[in-house]
Structure 1
C-alpha cells in the first residue's frame, strides 16, 4: 500500500497598481513628472525610443535627462510589426547588459508606439526576472489602447503576439504633444480603436465622434472636443481592463474587432496597420449582426456613415472569408474553446456569439462589398 502523498499548498496574489497620467509637454525643462518614478540620487535610465520619435523629439528628450542630472542610455528602436521579434528583445537585453541598472529603482522607459511599448514591456518582464518599466506612448493607437494595459508580447512563428506576458508598468505617461507629428494614416489607425469602443460599449462616445470626430482628427485632437474624445476613450478602455487585467474572463468587449482582424493583419501585414485590420473586422461584424437581426438597420447605417465621416478608408480588397474563418478557429484556441466573439446589439451594446458559421462569413463579405459600394460616403481604397 503506497504512502499518502505529501502536499504543500502555495497561494499568493500579486498586487497591481499603476497610474495613467496625462502629462502635457512631458519633456519640457520644467516638467519633472518622470522624476516621480525611481531613484533620483545617482539616477540611471535605460530609454528605448522609436526611430521616428527620435527624429522629431530626440534632442528635447536627450536634453531633458541632461538638465535633470539623469545618466541616460538612449537606444533607438525601428518600430513596426516587422521589428516585434525575439531578436529585437535580445538586442535590447544586450544593450541593457552594457548599462547596469538597479533592479528596482531604475525603471526602463519606452517612448514610442504600441509595438515598441509591447517589446520593451516583454524585455522588462524577462530581464533579471522582472524590472520596472514606464510607458510613454507616442502614437494615437498607443495613447488610447496599446499602452494602457499590462500585456506584453512579440510575434513568433508567423503569429502575432504568440509569446508574451502580463507585466504591469510602473506608470503610463500620456503626452498629447506627440500626436501632431503623426502621419495622417497613423492618426486614423488609432481612431479605428476609438470607433471600436464607441460601437461596442459607449453610445455617448459614438455621438461625440459623429459630432466632433472629423474636426478633432483635423486638429490632431489638440482641440477641446478632441481632448474630450480621447479622455472618454481612455476612461472607457481602463474601465474594461481594470477588473480583468489578467484576462481570467475571456469574454471581453475590447476584443470587438479583434477576431477576424488577427488573420487579416497577419496575412497582409505589408498593407494593413493594426487599426485598419480592426476596422475591417468591425464592418464584417456589423454586417453579421445585421444579418442576424441583432443590430437594427438604422444603427448599422450610423456605423457605416461614421466611418465615412471620419475619413476612414477600409481596403475591402483584402477581405477573404477563408482567412477570416481560420482566424476565428485560432481565436477559439486563444479563448479556451469558445468563439466568444463580441457583437454589437445596438450602438454601445454588446453580446457574445459562440456559433458563427463559415456560411455566415461567406455571405457577409459580398454583402459588405455591396453595402460599401452603394454608400458614397465611404472611400473604397486607401
Structure 2
C-alpha cells in the first residue's frame, strides 16, 4: 500500500432562488397564487396559525375546496412559547400521516414569524427536505422573519438553538392580512422597521417620523403604509441576499439582537420579540451616544419617534446580568468577537468588539430615566 493519501474531492453548490411576491387578496376566489408553485392539483399540507384560522380559516378552506385540492389544514397556536421541539415533532407526525409528494406538493405555512420558522424547519427535516411556501400574517413576519431562509426552534432555554437554512419556493405577502392584527402586534413589527431605518436607511426613518403614527392607525392599509413596507422589505432583502448563510458575521440586521436574547427568553410571557429588540436598540443607542458615535440630536430623534408611536416599554424588565450573558452568548455565536452593530448617525452602522460591562451597567439606568421622562405630562404654561 502506498503511503500517499488518496483524496476524492466533492464540490457542489445548491442554488437558492425564490421570489417575494406582494399578492393582495390571497384568499380571494379569483387569486391562484397559492397554487402557482408545485403541482396545481396536488395535495397540500397547510399549517395555519390559530388566530389566523379564527379570522380567515373558513376562507382558506373554501379556497382549496373550490379548486378541488385535497388540503390538510393543520391549526397550530402561534407565539414564542410554541416555538418548541414538541410542536415541531407534532407537525412532523401530522405530516407523516398525510403523505405528500417529495418535490411537487409543497407545504404551505400561513402565520406569524414564529410559525414560519417552525414550519420551515419541518420542511427542512422531513425526508431530508421538502419544498414550502410562506405566507406571513404578522407585520413582524411580513418585513423580517419570513423573508430569509433561516428556520428553527427554541431549545434548552435558548432562542433558535436548533435549526437550519431552508429557502422557500416563495414568500407571498398579502398586506390585507395585517388589518386584523392587534395594535401591540403591529408595533412588534414596527420595532423591526425602526431597527432597519436607524442602521441603514435614513429616508425610511424620516418616513416613520412623518407617517408612522398614521400608518399604525390605518393598520398599514393606506398609501403611505405601502411605501414604508416596501422600503423595509427591500432594505431587509438587500441585507440578507448577499449573505443568506451568514458566512459574514457582521450583519446590520443583527442590530437590536445582542442584549435582547436573554430578556426575551426570560420574559417570554411579557415581551414580544420586537419589544425586546427595541429595548436592545435603545440601550445600544445610549452606548453609541456616550462613545460619540451617535450624535445627541440623532439619539433624541430616535427616542422621540418611539414616544410619538406610543410604543410601550417596561424598563423593569431590564437586567444587566442577563443582558451581559446574552452578549457573551452572541460572542460565541459570532466566532469569538462581539460584532455588535451600533448606529453611527441615522442610516449608518459600525461594529464594536470592545463593549464593557461597565458601559452596559451605565446605560440601563439612563434608559429608564429617558423612558420615564418621556411619559411625564408636560407642565402647564
What's the TM-score, normalizing by structure 1?
A: 0.97
Give the corresponding residue for 2:33: 33
Give 3-state SS (helix, strand or coil) of 2:78's partner.
coil
Q: Is the 8 A contact 1:309 1:377 kept in 2?
A: no
For 1:53 and 1:34, locate their aligned partners in 2 and report how far apart those are by CA, in whole Å.
16
Residue in 2 that maps onto 1:68: 67
CA contact (8 A) 2:294 2:345 kept: yes
Counterpart Cα distance in 2 of 1:371 and 1:190 = 22
Aligned to 2:274: 275
Task: Point out the more displaced range, 68-77 or 247-256.
Answer: 68-77
Distance 1:188 1:367 in 2: 23
Matched, 1:45 2:61: no
Q: Check if 1:290 corresponds to 2:289.
A: yes
Q: CA offsets per residue over residues 219-276 of structure 1, 9 Å max, x none?
A: 0110100111001000000000000000000000000000001111011111100000
Runs of 5+ consecutive residues of structure 2 not aligned to the other structure: none
Q: Report the equivalent of 2:223.
A: 224
Aligned to 1:112: 111
Secondary structure of 2:346's match? Answer: coil
Q: Distance in 1 between matches of 2:372 and 2:86?
A: 43
Match of 2:304 in 1: 305
8 Å CA contact retained: 1:305, 1:377: no
The change in CA–CA distance for 1:14 and 1:224 in structure 2 (over 3 A counts) is same
Asked if the contact 1:208–1:229 (Cα under 8 Å) also holds between the matched residues in 2, the reply is: yes
Deviation at 1:372, TM superposition (A): 2.4
CA-CA distance at 1:373 after TM superposition: 2.6
Query: Deviation of residue 79 (structure 1)?
Result: 1.1
1:263–1:327: 8 Å Cα contact kept in structure 2?
yes
4+ runs deviating over 3 angstroms: none
Shift of 1:368: 1.4
Give the 3-state SS of the residue equivalent to 2:57 in structure 1: helix
Q: Does residue 346 in structure 1 map to residue 340 in structure 2? A: no
Deviation (angstroms), 1:377: 7.5
> How many angstroms apart in 2 are the aligned matches of 1:75 and 1:35?
18
Give the 3 Å change call, closer, same or farther, for CA 160–353 of structure 1 in structure 2.
same
Q: Please report how far the alpha carbon of residue 69 of structure 1 lies from its aligned counterpart in structure 2 after TM superposition.
A: 1.7
1:315 corresponding residue in structure 2: 314
Does the CA contact (< 8 Å) of 2:313 and 2:371 recur in 1?
no
Q: Report deviation, 1:314.
A: 1.4
Is 1:9 aligned with 2:9? yes
State the shift of 1:369 in Å: 1.6
C-alpha distance in 2 between matches for 1:34 and 1:95: 21
TM-score using structure 2 length:
0.97
C-alpha distance 29-377 of structure 1, shift in aligned 2 (>3 A): farther
Flag the 1:4–1:124 CA change in 2: closer, same or farther, 3 A: same
How much has 1:211 moved relative to structure 2?
0.2
Task: Name the CA distance, whole Å, in 1 between partners of 2:310 and 2:275.
Answer: 12
Name the structure 2 match of 1:103: 102
1:249 lines up with 2:248 in the alignment: yes
Task: Provide the rounded CA distance (Å) in 2 between the counterparts of 1:149 and 1:370.
Answer: 36
The separation in 1 between residues aligned to 2:273 and 2:305, in whole angstroms, is: 19
CA RMSD across the alignment? 1.2
Q: Distance in 2 between matches of 1:122 and 1:346?
A: 37
Is the Cα–Cα contact under 8 Å of residues 308 and 377 in structure 1 kept in the other structure? no
Cα deviation, residue 98, structure 1: 1.3
Which shifted more, 84-93 or 146-155?
Answer: 84-93
CA contact (8 A) 2:134 2:172 kept: yes
TM-aligned CA deviation for residue 102 of structure 1:
0.6
Alpha-carbon offset, residue 132 of structure 1: 0.1
Q: Take 2:369 and 2:146, find their aligned partners in 1: how far apart are those partners?
A: 36
